[in-house]
Chains A and B, each alone.
Chain A
Amino acid sequence: MEIKVKLFATLRENRGKEVSLELKEGATAEDALKKLEIPKKEVAILMINGRDDDPGKELKSGDLLSIFPPVGGG
């Protein structure tokens, strides 16, 4: 299945803003992070389709994953 990943702030370095990922059926957000070589400790906020979600949750084809490093305040 294919999912879309949006990356933000420092996570964009060497990876770009937006990537499409081909994952096996039943793959989770964690699997997506592994494929993108993003260490878990660099992830502060993870949204699936705009909602905070558990990184262990199974993804569906067409899902949008948004990943943020520690940021913010304002």
Chain B
Amino acid sequence: MHGYRGKILRVNLTDHTWKVEDLDEKKALSYIGGRGLGSKIMAEEVDPNVDAFSPENKVIIATGPLTGTPTPAGGRYMVVTKSPLSGTIASSNSGGYWGSELKFAGYDLIILEGKSPKPVNVFIEDDKVELRDASHVWGKIVSETTEALAKEAPDKAKILCIGPAGEKLSKIAAVMNDINRAAGRSGVGAVLGSKNLKAIVVKGSSKPTIANPDKLKEVTKAARQNIKDNGVTGQGLPTYGTAVLVNIINEGGVFPTNNFQTTYFDKAENISGEHLAENFLIKRESCFACPIACGRYAKADDIEGGGPEYETIWAFGAACGVSDMKEVIKANYWCNELGLDTISAGVTIAAAMELYQRGKIKDNDIDEGLSLKFGDAKSMVEWTKKMGNREGMIGDKMAEGSHRMGEHFGMPEVAMAVKKLELPAYDPRGIQGQGLQYATSNRGGCHVRGYMISPEILGLPQKLDRFAIDGKAEWVKIFQDLTAYIDSAGLCLFTSFAIDAKGYADMISAVIGQEFSDADILEAGDRIWNLERNYNLKAGIDPSQDTLPKRLLEDPIPDGPSKGNKSRLSEMLPIYYNIRGWDESGIPKPETLQKLQVEA
């Protein structure tokens, strides 16, 4: 089959052996690749009840059939494993240039199993695979690791690694690639750490073949034109990056502030995309084959690096009551270097600040010279470092994520998380569909499993009333299914502002040479969604966890433009279960699984 490379690299870290297996084409067609195929392999090979840190857990690094092809923004890969943070199936997505390089080396997926007795790196150059000692880079930050390994690698090799946070099994550790790109969420970096795997270095020399190059040229041209003509992908993201959302979300009064205690941040202008662009931006960055180039590169004092993205600015900004962009840039830098998820890291610090505010963390618990007051920007940067290094009593607890930290201090409800994954930067009390999406996302509190902000705030593809609940369950299902497909194909989700299911179907059809319709795309997404759901249910994540933090269900927004609203989740959830073909308690019905050919 075209598009795919038809090969899986299976590495046994316990005895340092590896083998190459053929890709099962039938399975690939049903589950596409990336998140879908990775999850299918997890379901077949890994007991859902496995301890995330045990050698029996596996990490599947999966590209899609469009990764490394000329399709726009087709450079993504997924890290699929069982999450140590949420206990759900995890799949974290990243861009940059590493995923496409793996395709050029001739592989669709890498399956990592077992646990190495000592720190190890995997070097891949086409069909040459080597496991090498990693003791010289163990403990090193991401940029130093990348620099050191680049010297041992072929020219222009691409490097994926974990930082000290992953090595120390922080449950909010990321997998990093190309220095500042992150497969951030769900603690996937800690699973690599538990396997003593520091880095995967890859260099390839051949491209995936295309079934119908003329057709692909035509559909790619149309897709690129749509991306260019679309206000968000052609103008908004390239000019301001994602950070421009700060002011929009804040003006709407749904910008969670001081750990979601309020939703309007009166100092938002100081951390806005406009302020970032004017004062701190050095250059734009792009991922493989991406015409959008939403990436930023910023400098504050003596620190410079990739980002900060909207989510990061919010997590270290409003969520912590911080309005100093310089310190936000520094916290972002340390997350990238230590290998921490910026959303979870910022929200965990915000939760610690609330624990202090409520007297659960006492002054004499706090490390010397630091504070946990909302708005203390300098301390926030220091806490980020301590969290990544598990330094001190509080830093060590922070490394466990907000839920476990809250539990330790006797107040788990300070964790603004769903299924223990920290929530992102949109308060669902004033954006009803997004709330349903958070509650039902298969990896927990996440915005990119179905980005309802697009219709509810940005008005794309059409404007929905964000306070209404009518029709939201249907929208959430379609967005979740389409996203599951995009994540599996190897494309960036941001293309979906400009490309519809039909456009995606045309692209995959031209690349792999099998006809896909828009309905096929959505059905594949639905299949993947149900497979993940099934895995989670078997892992003991029961439907009672399809919920939101109590504050968002019970406490109306206290002030600002969305004042008085609460999440109306309980009204939307039964409708959602029903249109998903699940029973009243949220369990997929046998006929639903049968129709989608998902094994029960």
User: Which residues of A are in contact with B by a Cβ distance under 8 Å?
Assistant: 6, 8-10, 12, 17, 44-45, 47, 49-52, 66, 68-74
- A51 touching B561, Cβ below 8 Å: yes
- A9 touching B251, Cβ below 8 Å: no
A/B interface sample: 10 pairs, CB < 8 A: A8-B247, A8-B251, A52-B459, A52-B465, A52-B466, A68-B247, A71-B245, A71-B273, A72-B236, A73-B232
Q: 5 closest Cβ contacts across the A-B interface? A: A50-B561, A70-B231, A74-B242, A71-B236, A74-B310
- B457 touching A9, Cβ below 8 Å: no
Cα(A73)–Cα(B230), bound, Å: 12
The answer to the question of B253 belonging to the interface, with a C-beta cut-off of 8 Å to chain A, is yes
Cα(A8)–Cα(B252), bound, Å: 13
Main secondary structure of the interface of B (DSSP, over half): helix
The answer to the question of B311 belonging to the interface, with a C-beta cut-off of 8 Å to chain A, is yes
- A45 touching B497, Cβ below 8 Å: no
Cα(A10)–Cα(B232), bound, Å: 13
The answer to the question of B107 belonging to the interface, with a C-beta cut-off of 8 Å to chain A, is no
A9 — which chain B residues lie within 8 A by C-beta?
A: 236, 239-240, 244, 247, 273-274
A51 — which chain B residues lie within 8 A by C-beta?
A: 252, 561
The answer to the question of B560 belonging to the interface, with a C-beta cut-off of 8 Å to chain A, is yes
The answer to the question of B458 belonging to the interface, with a C-beta cut-off of 8 Å to chain A, is yes
Given contacts A71-B231, A73-B245, 9 further A-B contacts (CB under 8 A): A8-B248, A9-B273, A12-B274, A17-B269, A68-B247, A71-B458, A72-B248, A73-B494, A73-B497
Chain B residue nearest in CB terms to A41 = B231
A50 — which chain B residues lie within 8 A by C-beta?
A: 251-253, 560-562
**In the complex, how many angstroms separate the beta carbon of B244 from the nearest chain A beta carbon?**
4
Cα(A8)–Cα(B457), bound, Å: 15
Cα(A74)–Cα(B237), bound, Å: 9
- Of the candidates B231, B237, B311, the one whose C-beta lies within 8 Å of that of A69 is B231
Q: Which of B230, B239, B251, B560 has most A Cβ within 10 Å?
A: B251
The answer to the question of B538 belonging to the interface, with a C-beta cut-off of 8 Å to chain A, is no
- Interface code B212-247, partner A: CB below 8 Å = 1, 0 otherwise? 000000000000000000111101110110111101
* Inter-chain residue pair count (beta carbon < 8 A): 93
**In the complex, how many angstroms separate the beta carbon of B343 from the nearest chain A beta carbon?**
11
- B466 touching A71, Cβ below 8 Å: no
A45 — which chain B residues lie within 8 A by C-beta?
A: 248, 457-459
- B236 touching A73, Cβ below 8 Å: yes
- Interface code B271-287, partner A: CB below 8 Å = 1, 0 otherwise? 00110000000000000
A49 — which chain B residues lie within 8 A by C-beta?
A: 561
The answer to the question of B294 belonging to the interface, with a C-beta cut-off of 8 Å to chain A, is yes
The answer to the question of B125 belonging to the interface, with a C-beta cut-off of 8 Å to chain A, is no
**In the complex, how many angstroms separate the beta carbon of A66 from the nearest chain B beta carbon?**
5
- A6 touching B251, Cβ below 8 Å: yes
- Of the candidates B236, B242, B453, the one whose C-beta lies within 8 Å of that of A70 is B236
- B239 touching A73, Cβ below 8 Å: no
**In the complex, how many angstroms separate the beta carbon of A17 from the nearest chain B beta carbon?**
8
- B561 touching A73, Cβ below 8 Å: no
- B274 touching A73, Cβ below 8 Å: no
Within 8 A of A (CB), among B460-489: 463, 465-466
Chain A residue nearest in CB terms to B251 = A66
Within 8 A of A (CB), among B544-570: 560-562
**In the complex, how many angstroms separate the beta carbon of A11 from the nearest chain B beta carbon?**
10
- A70 touching B232, Cβ below 8 Å: yes
A68 — which chain B residues lie within 8 A by C-beta?
A: 247-248
Q: Which of A17, A44, A50, A66 has most B Cβ within 10 Å?
A: A50
Cα(A68)–Cα(B230), bound, Å: 15
The answer to the question of B337 belonging to the interface, with a C-beta cut-off of 8 Å to chain A, is no
- Of the candidates A6, A47, A71, the one whose C-beta lies within 8 Å of that of B232 is A71
**In the complex, how many angstroms separate the beta carbon of B557 from the nearest chain A beta carbon?**
11
Cα(A72)–Cα(B455), bound, Å: 12
- A73 touching B294, Cβ below 8 Å: yes
B251 — which chain A residues lie within 8 A by C-beta?
A: 6, 8, 47, 50, 66
Cα(A70)–Cα(B253), bound, Å: 19
Cα(A8)–Cα(B249), bound, Å: 12
Cα(A6)–Cα(B274), bound, Å: 13
Chain B residue nearest in CB terms to A51 = B561
A8 — which chain B residues lie within 8 A by C-beta?
A: 244, 247-248, 251, 274
The answer to the question of B113 belonging to the interface, with a C-beta cut-off of 8 Å to chain A, is no
- A72 touching B245, Cβ below 8 Å: yes
- Given contacts A12-B274, A45-B457, A45-B459, whether A74 and B233 have CB atoms under 8 Å apart is no
B466 — which chain A residues lie within 8 A by C-beta?
A: 52
A17 — which chain B residues lie within 8 A by C-beta?
A: 269
Cα(A47)–Cα(B463), bound, Å: 13
Chain B residue nearest in CB terms to A10 = B239
- Given contacts A44-B459, A45-B459, whether A72 and B242 have CB atoms under 8 Å apart is yes
The answer to the question of B427 belonging to the interface, with a C-beta cut-off of 8 Å to chain A, is no
Chain A residue nearest in CB terms to B273 = A9
Cα(A10)–Cα(B252), bound, Å: 19
Cα(A44)–Cα(B245), bound, Å: 13
A12 — which chain B residues lie within 8 A by C-beta?
A: 274
Cα(A73)–Cα(B451), bound, Å: 9
